[in-house]
Structure 1
Amino acid sequence: MIKISIVDDEALFLEGINLLFSIVENIRVVSSTTSAMEMIDKLSNISKVNFPDIILVDILMKPVDGFELVERLKKKYPDLKIIILSSHYKQNVLGHMFKLGISAFIPKNANKELLVNTIESVYKTGVCFTKKDHEMLIEFMNSKIKKPTLTNTEELSEREKEVLKLICLGHTNKKIADKLFLSKRTIESHRQRIMQKTGVKNTVGLVIYAIANHIYKLPIHYYTV
């Protein structure tokens, strides 16, 4: 069962989304609210068993908008998966949100299949991109973001690149260890060194770093809107 929370200041839209998920067997809404601050409070007080795997966030909200909410959530819960569900599906918005560490961006006019498939994909692999996302994100990175540089002069080793590719595929440390015939502790050490060298703080950041440095090519999901 995938546990999700939703924050959107349009009460009617929020009610509709809750109704939609009430008939989806493998997704359960554990909390929903029209206020970003209320969502922050809910997460601070929610039990571990009901803590969401994924949060769906709108962008245009007051007084705290989606940009600020995502930034706050990623600071407090760096591994929390966040999906943006917004009508403001533009290159600069998409690019900025991915820099903040979101896992996916869904237009509000998306159909049920895209919404459910994106949630399932993010739950399994950590990120989900459509073909359009991929094109917009690559163009944004090429035009507005300088290629990320390592925090020191040491480059990633071939083994670290191999581990990074498997991290991008959503594999756990244990699964990577099994694939590479190494111990879990060794993989944990590789992951830590990769994060130190790249200067990123979470898995989404590693994925974006790997894409920008041509270490990993995005799997593109050909869902229709």
Structure 2
Amino acid sequence: MNNQIKVALIDDESLFTEGLVLLFSTVKHITVVATAAHGIKFLDDLLNIPPVDFPEIILADIQMKPMDGFELVEILKKKYPGLKIIILSSHYKNNVFGHMIKLGVSAFLPKNANLKLLVEAIESVHKTGVFFSQKDHLMLVSYMKGKSKSHDLNAIRNLSEREIEVIKLICLEYTNDEIADKLFLSRRTVESHRQRILDKIGAKNTVGLVVYAIAHQIYIPPQHFDSV
């Protein structure tokens, strides 16, 4: 299982979960290590999963009983902050997207996304911690229109040219090591830049950093159409 991306699936639609397991069985570098019909069962299962099989990425639905996806994400973020979470939902719209951003999920995809987009999202989240499609970008712009940006102006002014350069490379899905090579810096220096950026803009993680960069046009995603 070396070099495998270990994922877990949580959804109360068994046919949907079984279908995903079957689809991922055709992808050599993605392994489904756990499935559960709802959040409570998954949280119990996590306690008994050996470290070698512990998931790195969670794919979860929003509408589940007795624990919905929102509550599950909040608990996972507190108990397992290293876990990356991708939400797969039929409620793929602006107001839900905004809530997902606040919760700090790594990606938000419609349930009718095809395998290519799912794999792309999983690979991006595994490598950089975040995935935003062009549709996500459009929803983010719409979501941010109703929010005040005045409190962020000082943060933008306080960002150095080097920090803006680092932000753009993070948004382009470069890892710390790749950014270090590209800018002729040490990995530790890049990590220091990343933390200083997070402190200045008030973000908690890479998801927040990318959201901030897109919302303030520091980074504009390439214009393309995603197949679903």
Q: TM-score, normalised by structure 1?
A: 0.87
Query: Is the aligned partner of 1:146 residue 2:148?
Result: yes
Q: Give yes or no for contact 2:130–2:206 (8 Å, CA) kept in 1.
A: no
Partners of 1:118 and 1:152 lie apart in 2 by 29
Unaligned runs of 5+ in 2: none
Match of 2:44 in 1: 41
Partners of 2:156 and 2:164 lie apart in 1 by 16
Task: Go from structure 1 to structure 2 and tell me whether the alpha carbon gap of 1:153 and 1:133 turns closer, same or farther (over 3 Å shift).
Answer: closer
Task: Go from structure 1 to structure 2 and tell me whether the alpha carbon gap of 1:153 and 1:87 turns closer, same or farther (over 3 Å shift).
Answer: closer
Which residues of 2 match residues 66-145 of structure 1 at below 5 A? 66-143=69-146, 145=147
SS of 2:87's partner is: strand
Task: Go from structure 1 to structure 2 and tell me whether the alpha carbon gap of 1:104 and 1:79 turns closer, same or farther (over 3 Å shift).
Answer: same
Which residues of 2 match residues 187-206 of structure 1 at below 5 A? 187-206=190-209
Q: Give yes or no for contact 1:91–1:136 (8 Å, CA) kept in 2.
A: yes
Query: Is the aligned partner of 1:32 residue 2:30?
Result: no
User: How much does 1:195 deviate?
Assistant: 1.6
Match of 2:57 in 1: 54
Query: Is the aligned partner of 1:19 residue 2:22?
Result: yes
Q: Percent identity?
A: 63
Partners of 1:133 and 1:186 lie apart in 2 by 31
Partners of 1:161 and 1:18 lie apart in 2 by 40
User: How much does 1:15 deviate?
Assistant: 2.0
Q: TM-score, normalised by structure 2?
A: 0.86
RMSD: 2.4
* Matching residue's letter, 1:35: H
Partners of 1:124 and 1:18 lie apart in 2 by 22
* Matching residue's letter, 2:135: K
Aligned length: 224
Q: Tell me whether 4-13 or 103-112 shows the greater mean CA deviation.
A: 103-112
Unaligned runs of 5+ in 1: none
Q: Tell me whether 208-217 or 56-65 shows the greater mean CA deviation.
A: 208-217
* Matching residue's letter, 1:146: S
1:175-216, CA deviations, whole angstroms, 9 ceiling, x for partnerless residues?
222221122222222122112112222111111111122212
User: How much does 1:79 deviate?
Assistant: 4.2
Q: Give yes or no for contact 1:87–1:107 (8 Å, CA) kept in 2.
A: yes
